[in-house]
Structure 1
Amino acid sequence: MLKKLLLVSLLGISCQAAAQTNFRPGYVVTLGGDTLRGEVDARGAVRNARLARFRPTPDAAITDYRPGQLQGYAVTGEHLYQRATVLLADSLGPGAALGATPDTVQRVSFVEVLVRGPLHLLYLRDEQRIDHYYAQLGAQPLHELRQRVVKLEREGRLYQQQTNEFRRTLAELMTSCPSVQPRLNTLRYQSNELVRAVQAYNVCVGESAVLLPAAARRTYLQLGLVTGAEVSHLKIAGNPFKLPIKGTSAIGPVVGVGLTLHTGLSRNVTFRLEALYERQKYNRLVPYGDDPQASSTANPEKYATLSTLRAPLLVRYTYPKGRLRPMVYAGFTLGFFLQADVEDIVNVPRPPLSPLELAYNLKTEPEQAFTGGLGLTTARPNGRNASVELRYEYSNGFNALTDLNRFYLLLSYDLTK
């Protein structure tokens, strides 16, 4: 029952988060140059390139702006967009049937400003979810920074090779700063590296370095502490026991660390790897099933002790609004058993001797589990955050005879910013 409630709650929060808009403080700049301040709906990169949704107040009507209707718009502290004409394969539309090519069809779009200065760096994600980068020197037209993969045939074999055209394009635009040219020879087609190269050029020609919100969205890792409590249900079937047995553990502690990866591509989706230690004690394992012996009072009492090191790998989505933000996650856990002991205490009269005790050290295998959870987290920008979460795991246990279901209440706190 608890498993079903947890899954229903996960689905409920996911659907609610998907249905909500994401309005944040921002502004739009009209074609006449007027700045209208209010709230802008910050969504994914694909949608942001084609539509700006604006409202002056939370209770006001929403106005949708296409790229041809604005000079640009911004989400304060996060995104800055300007209107530009670009060449894109997905701008063809019906023209593709007439033999049009991306080099002959242009489209007005909102492009995100990554670097502003004598040389601008701009970014757009098209409807095919392909990332495009553009460089613009002053008021000149945009130059796309391209990296293509071409097929070459050598000695009867086909090879794939990257063209790295973007390096030549940047070299031509940066001729006024020879000191920056050598770094272009090893420049990779990645957002962070392109940003640093363009910033270095702007500083070289006398422009002070200005870090825009988009460039500040770096990829980084955060280390955190994890602690909490756990209860689990264990089933063991077959040898070395005549009857299948099951039981519920006492509440046990969980402690460990977590490493969270923020990719910079999305503020709401993160990846998390944890290392947890836990110890469970089952104070009574009882037979179950249809066998008449299962209810016999002659069966010895059984106890179990399990201790494991666990490594959950999770993908987490956090709702982007509020001081306390709901989050949901799912993933996979690999567990390694340090101890898996089951003990019999046979209560037979042997005065003056104590009850007979038999211990089994069970053979263990690595444990595999599916993991899901939900929780709440604080949302302090550039600060340490704390979260509370409920987690469920369903695993194959420590060998082919076992099943394990785990329920967690966990607290996490960031140790680094």
Structure 2
Amino acid sequence: MKLFLLGILLSISALSFAQSNFQKGYVVNNEKDTLRGYIDYKEWDLNPGKIAFKTDLDAGIQDFTVKNSLAWAVTGLEIYQKYEVEVSMSQVDVSRLSVGRDNSKAKSVVFLKVLQTGKNATLFSYTDGIKQRFYLLEKDESIPYELGSQLYMKSKEDNLMVTDNQYIRQLGLVMTKLNVGTEAERHSLEISNYGIKPIMNAVAVINEQQLIKTNKNSAVRFFAGAGLNMSRAHYKGDTPFALPGAESKVSLMPLITAGFDLFANPAIGKLIYRAELSLLMGKHEATIREPSPSKTYMTHTFNQFTINITPQIIYNFYNTNRLKAFVGGGPGLNFSGYSNNKTTLYSNSGNETELTSRKIDLEKFNFSFPFTAGLVFNKKVEISAGYAFASPITNYSSFSINMQRYRVGVNYLFGKL
């Protein structure tokens, strides 16, 4: 099983180096010519400074940056336009806040992401390694300005943070100038936070329009499946079942899984936040035999039924419509019940058996640390293999029983992605 998992990981790594995600789009060069073709679309956490472009899928790659292009777009998904703007440098990381206002700015030529267009204004966003910012370009103006928001410490002595929401005043002034917005809409702006949704709502009021959702892909996908759970109890410490001659059998039992996936970007589908519920079963038996002539042996048996809840991060290293290859992992929360928890001592010389039930107390809750790797075919069928590092199911100071699990399974995926 370990070799199988290693093989999947190596295969995925090899695929990921060669993978790209070219989608239909266009680039406007410095001569204002529109070049239509394909752009390598990625999950950009920060505004990209460079994109890869092809005139057709078999052509060579051209790189476009702020030096040789004015704008570019991935059709139906994202639009970026080049501007030279003032970028605020104040921090949002609490550990790095300035004492008093930090009004420092830097002029930069960047690609701004278009969030909304309308008859009165265009809204952009720009994210770098410091923070996310929003920019507004008013009608008949040529340069966008930043919608400001700043967090700073009041003084060195007072452990008090101050928030200056300049964007509320800025957007309020635009509403007043254009005579738009109801009292309720203005109040909603005044109590808003510096986030994409409330600012887009405010700019929609400025543009006297309703926001329209253009993303056809669902951000949520559900799944259900079944598989095989392979588990073994490992005994350590001051117990006969940890001696060199002891044997612990591997349990092979079915498992059932269900859950849902939340996509960071449904249009790409590479980064996925998964919540998985699994039902696991195991029948375990450990044996230690004494050498002749006594021929005494001892066994410990227990059956385990576990409800496992695992939040995971899944990443599709290879990501096409027909085939996806992924790895993932996250902490597992295990809620277990037990039966047939017995320790048996058998002596052949006296032909006697001593049976003790529940001599070893087993924990009803424990953490595990599983990871998984697998493939998805045609966005519907997922096959995977997983491994969970050994986690203790006892709470003794002198010895422990650690549960180690492998699993293989098949899931059916429900969703539009």
Question: 1:392: which partner in 2?
Answer: 387
TM-score normalised by length of structure 1: 0.80
Partner Cα distance (2:9, 2:41) in 1 = 24
Find out whether 1:198 has 2:203 as its counterpart. yes
- 1:178-234 per-residue CA deviation (whole Å, 9 max, x = no partner) reads 3132210122222233223323432x2xx4644455xx789x554433432211122
Q: Residues 281 and 304 of structure 1 are in contact (CA less than 8 Å); yes or no, is this contact kept in structure 2?
A: yes
AA at the equivalent of 1:193: P
Displacement of 1:159 in angstroms is 0.6
In structure 1, the partner of 2:320 is: 321
What's 1:299 paired with?
297
Does the 8 A contact of 2:66 with 2:109 survive in 1? Answer: yes
- Structure 1 residue 129, shift from structure 2 partner: 5.2
Contact 1:124–1:133 (8 Å) recurs in 2: yes
Q: Is the 8 A contact 1:300 1:344 kept in 2?
A: yes
Alignment counterpart, residue 189 of structure 1, candidates 172, 190, 194 = 194
What is the number of equivalent residue pairs in this alignment? 387
The answer as to whether partners of 2:298 and 2:346 remain within 8 angstroms in 1 is yes
The answer to whether the aligner puts 1:85 opposite 2:84 as a matched pair is: yes
Greater Cα offset, 184-193 or 244-253: 244-253
SS in 1 for 2:376: strand
Sort the Cα spacing of 1:304 and 1:211 in 2 relative to 1 into closer, same or farther, 3 A.
Answer: closer
Aligned to 2:248: 247
Structure 1 263/170 Cα, relative in aligned 2: closer, same or farther at 3 Å?
farther
Mapping for residues 7-406 of structure 1, pairs under 5 Å:
7=6, 9-10=8-9, 13-14=12-13, 16-17=15-16, 20-45=19-44, 49-88=48-87, 103=105, 105-118=106-119, 119-126=121-128, 128=129, 130-140=131-141, 141-153=143-155, 157-175=158-176, 176=178, 177-179=180-182, 180-202=185-207, 204=208, 207=209, 209-212=211-214, 221-237=220-236, 241=240, 244=243, 245-264=246-265, 267-282=269-284, 284-287=285-288, 293=291, 298-319=296-317, 320-339=319-338, 341-344=340-343, 358-360=356-358, 362-365=360-363, 366-378=365-377, 385-399=380-394, 401-406=400-405
Gap regions ≥5 residues in structure 1: 91-100
CA contact (8 A) 2:327 2:373 kept: yes
Is residue 45–residue 124 contact of structure 1 (8 Å, CA) maintained in 2? no
Aligned residue type for 1:138: K
Alpha-carbon distance, 1:45 to partner: 2.8
Structure 2 Cα separation of the partners of residues 60 and 255 of structure 1: 46
Answer whether contact 1:49 1:111 (CA < 8 A) is retained. no
Seen in structure 2, the aligned counterparts of structure 1 residues 47 and 36 have a Cα distance that, compared at 3 Å, is farther
Letter in 2 for 1:371: P
- 1:26 & 1:249 partners in 2: Cα distance? 54
2:296 and 2:348 in contact (8 A); partners too = no
Partner residue in 2 for 1:96: none
The SS at the match of 1:87 is: strand
Distance in 1, matches of 2:50 and 2:9, equals 30
SS in 2 for 1:188: coil
Q: 1:324 to 1:255 in 2, by over 3 A?
A: same
Tell me the distance in 1 between the aligned counterparts of 2:18 and 2:168: 42
Q: Could you say what secondary structure the match of 2:392 adopts?
A: coil
Instruction: Determine what percentage of the aligned residue pairs are the same residue.
Output: 21
Compute the TM-score of the two structures, normalised by the length of structure 2: 0.80
Q: Of the two structures, which has the highest relative contact order with CA contacts closer than 8 Å and spacing of 6 or more?
A: 2
- DSSP-derived class of the 1:88 partner: strand
Which has more strand, going by share of residues? Answer: 2
Tell me the SS of whatever aligns to 1:260: strand
Instruction: Measure the CA separation in 1 of the matches of 2:212 and 2:292.
Output: 74
More helix by share: 1
Work out the CA distance in 1 between the residues paired with 2:276 and 2:9. 21
1:199–1:209: 8 Å Cα contact kept in structure 2? Answer: yes
Asked if the contact 1:341–1:361 (Cα under 8 Å) also holds between the matched residues in 2, the reply is no
User: 1:6 aligns to what?
Assistant: 5
**How much does 1:301 deviate?**
5.0
Residue 348 to residue 158, structure 1, CA distance change in 2 (3 Å):
closer
Name the SS for the 1:49 alignment partner.
coil
Partners in 2 of 1:217 and 1:249 — Cα distance? 43
Q: What 5-or-longer segments of structure 2 have no aligned partner? A: 90-102
- Shift of the alpha carbon at 1:46? 6.0
Kept after mapping to 2: 8 A contact 1:115/1:195: yes
Does the CA-based 8 Å contact 1:115-1:212 persist in structure 2?
no
Separation in structure 2 between the aligned mates of residue 295 and residue 396 of structure 1, nearest angstrom: 37
Deviation at 1:305, TM superposition (A): 1.1
